Chains A and B, each alone.
Chain A
Amino acid sequence: MKIDKVMDQVTHMVLALFIVVWGFIAVIIVWGSWRFTRQHGFLSPILSSRWNPLTGHFGLASFILGSLTVTVLAVVIVSPWSLGLSVLGARILQGSWQRYFVRFLTVFVSLPSVLYGWWGLTVIVPGIRRLTGSSGYGVLSASLVVALMILPTFSILSLKAIRQVPESYVEGSVGLGASEDQTLWHIILPTARPRLAQAALIAIARALGETIAVQMVIGGQFGRPGLLHPAATLTTQLLTDLPLLPPGTAGHFVLDYMAFLLMLLMTVIVGLEMRMGE
């Protein structure tokens, strides 16, 4: 078959193009961070938290800490809500309601993050201020905004995970006299656990990469540790200091290094995700 051979080569070429393009991007990031680490060392920027690119202090510790705190907190906050939504969608709603439910959540998955940030400014920040007496801008507000942002993604994925549990398991359990609750806790959720963990990791990756919505509510600089104080994450600092360190200035490569750290964190998360899938 002639067409077969041609298409065989075409798909190969497109694959090669894909690998070349993304390899190129990875090489740019790695090369930039190599140039940075050659000057400032690999570990010392991670361990220091003194950040002033104009005077040559590139301490990234507080941003890494900020990224991790916001992400972990957001996932902890969102988990029960997401469980509620997914059980609602997969076990309680019936028939075509399930389909409408997923469509409803899909709209929110695609909602631009600016809108979530806006919601944070009008609802979360004043709320936190009233409750705690702080300024309202800080890690906690950012985690709440991110939590709402990843909620639809997380719920859809966990909903799919719950649906993948074979109906025969459920029937077996109920047939043996277990109540619906017992079936949920002891059969459905344990069976779906690997996929639920995968869903959580995808949600974590999304939370870690979020920029604009976090920037709007987190306050922008690291002063003192605490959930109610302003902080910054790797992504928000990347956005904030992009104008300060345009290509060609001495500190520009720190941006590549920050991108590299983000990539490294993502790799760890994806590694975990793959292990869950096995």
Chain B
Amino acid sequence: MISRRQFVIGVLGVPLFGAMISLGQALRLEDRPRLLSIMGASSLMGYVKASLPQWERQHDFVRVALSPGGSYAGLKAVASGHIDLALSDIEPPPGYIAVPLRRFRLGRIAIVIVAYPGVGVKGLQRDQVRALFAGTIANWREVGGQNLSVIPVSRPLSSGARQVLSSRLMKGTEFSSQAIIQLSNGAVAKTVRGSPGAVGYVEAVMPLSQILVMDLGQYHYCPANPHSWPLYAEPSIYVREDAQPLAYNLAEYLSHGSQKSRFGIYSGPGEGGAVDENR
């Protein structure tokens, strides 16, 4: 049995544990490299990862940590001050954020409807796409294609691309409950490429090879000139109004980055690059 003294010592271990944590906290406040953290939409991670090394070279004493989590988590975390920059495909829903944020627009990313190359259809109307994703069209024959059953592929509720598609294209129609859910752009593209009859949507941040990019109505998606494409996300960087100047500097740098076009980010009409805007 445990003796009384041992019990006391065991209980004393608890404050010891607390002391260790606070010691760790204290060490953290000392002279260490400054740290900025970024969180948010995973479709922008490639661009940010590619742009960071140059910025870190210019600011020798700063490290930037990147973690995924999606647009919602990024916005929530930047509002509560846990991170410095949030990457978001969507505007914060009304009432979601209580503190003032400053928004740095990155531009636009086209969202394209992709399908398995053998479906036998080159273009779709908006209501056809809606019906395909809603599950009311079950076979590609019904839109003039091959005899293949339709496999809709979608993203989770936390995805910014899904939000854009829901509001711009689905217009209140629910996604089919039979749809396959994939966590990321890349996974959607791989699934669609490999599954006969699959249809999905991806943000065009990557070269889309071996996959059929659908025309939408009279629009044709052309990677070299995406400006007229009607479906797009408007990714932005959000920073708290009272953030440190370094965070502003990084957001400014990212919103003007020279590598944007290599990651499918283009500026919308009438926007000369980034526009600051108070919310």
CB within 8 Å of B: which residues of A?
8-9, 12-13, 15-17, 20-21, 52-54, 121, 125-126, 129, 133, 135-137, 215-216, 219-224, 229-230, 232, 239-244, 246-249
Contact = CB atoms under 8 A, between A and B. Distances in A.
Contact of B157 (A8, A230, A241): A241
B69 A135 contact: no
Contact of B156 (A20, A222, A240): A240
B48 interface: no
Given A215-B183, A224-B178, A230-B178, A243 B11 contact: no
A21 B157 contact: no
B139 interface: no
A230 B13 contact: no
B165 interface: no
Contacts of B12: 13
Contacts of B157: 52-54, 241, 244
Interface residues of B, number: 39
A135 B181 contact: no
Contacts of A223: 176-179
A246 B77 contact: yes
A132 to B, nearest CB: 12
Contacts of B17: 17, 20-21
B76 A221 contact: no
A147 to B, nearest CB: 21
Interface stretch (B29-37, B190-198, B237-245): B190-198
B10 A16 contact: yes
A244 B70 contact: yes
Contact of B181 (A15, A20, A136, A240): A240
Contacts of B156: 220, 240-241, 243-244
B73 A20 contact: no
A223 B68 CA distance: 27
Nearest to A232: B181
B180 A219 contact: yes
Contacts of B80: 248
Contacts of B9: 9, 12-13, 16
Contact of A220 (B72, B151, B180): B180
A125 B70 contact: no
B267 interface: no
B27 interface: no
A9 B6 contact: yes
Given A12-B9, A13-B16, A240-B156, A249 B181 contact: no
Q: Which 7 A-B pairs have the closest CB atoms?
A: A220-B181, A243-B70, A244-B158, A16-B10, A16-B13, A246-B73, A223-B177
Contacts of B16: 13, 17
A121 B190 contact: yes
B14 interface: yes
Nearest to B2: A12
Interface string B131-152: 0000000000000000001010
Contacts of B70: 243-244
Contacts of A239: 183
A273 to B, nearest CB: 27
Residue among A8, A219, A239, A247 with the most chain B CB within 10 A? A219
A243 B72 contact: yes
B128 interface: no
16 contacts: A8-B6, A12-B10, A16-B9, A16-B11, A20-B13, A125-B194, A137-B195, A221-B181, A222-B177, A223-B176, A224-B178, A230-B180, A230-B181, A232-B181, A241-B156, A241-B158
Contacts of B2: 12
Nearest to B93: A54
B51 interface: no
Contacts of A121: 190, 194
Contacts of A52: 157
Contacts of B177: 221-224
Interface in B224-266: none
Contacts of A224: 177-178
Contacts of A232: 181
Contacts of B190: 121
A244 B72 contact: yes
B10 A126 contact: no
Nearest to A21: B17
B148 to A, nearest CB: 10
A243 B69 contact: yes
A20 B14 contact: yes
B13 A137 contact: no
Nearest to B73: A246
B194 A16 contact: no
Contact of B180 (A13, A16, A135, A244): A135
